[in-house]
Amino acid sequence: MAIFIPTYFSPISQYATLVKEDEIVFEVSDNFQKQTYRNRCYIYSPNGKLLLNIPIQHNKATASKDILIDNSVNWKKQHLKSLETAYKSSPFFEFYIDDLKPIFEKEQKFLMDLNLQCHALIMDALQVEIPSSFPSEYEKDARHDFRYLAIAKQKLAVHFPRYIQVFEDKHGFLPNLSILDLLFMEGPSAINYLLKIQRPAH
């Protein structure tokens, strides 16, 4: 059993770890932290690495499960347009885009609900089924604790093998982007790539 934080179209490092587990625990009772993948992901745009950020409401909520999305900002349209611009020429864009669009068409209130919906979509795309649970209390001592993978500026001691990326000829290979980058480029073979990566150390 391993514990993870639900994040927005998680980086490859999270799924490279997650798909090797027999059971997943999602941390939903922790305090929300800035500078994490909870409300951001990075994709490969024509101009290089691009941040997609979900705006959140700055209210009194501190628990991650209570964080509200600021839907007064039209972030969904911007994110979808950015994905289309970045990946419309990728080998598997047409294969996955119809499954992705509903996420950007439905208005979610809570960030946690959105992240779990994204996770379900990715697991379906990877054709992997792993039981998951959601403890009602914060897990202080988890034997396999991978919550650090949600920290955006965390340096990981792991090698990410090269795979072909759309704009690699302009900016070189960019490792550990959002899992979407790998899916659009590798399609059903993405799972094989993930299984080759060692669990990231920090």
Chain segment 133-152, per-residue pLDDT in tens? 888 777 676 678 999 999 99
Does residue 61 carry a pLDDT above 80?
no
pLDDT for 135 equals: 80
Q: pLDDT averaged over the chain?
A: 93
Does residue 202 carry a pLDDT above 90?
no
pLDDT for 130 equals: 95
- Which has the closest alpha carbon to 91: 195, 187, 201, 4? 187
Amino acid identity, residue 200? P
Mean pLDDT of 3-9: 96
pLDDT band at 200; cut points 50, 70, 90: low
Percentage with pLDDT > 70 across the chain: 96
| Residue whose tokens read 């094989």 | 192
Does residue 79 carry a pLDDT above 90?
yes
- Which has the closest alpha carbon to 14: 184, 163, 180, 164? 180
Enumerate residues 6+ apart whose C-beta is below 8 A from 199.
16, 17, 20, 158
Query: Quick count: other Cβ atoms within 10 Å of Cβ 133?
Result: 11
The residue ranges of DSSP E strands in 46-181, in sequence order, are 48-53, 132-133
**Whole-model pTM?**
0.94
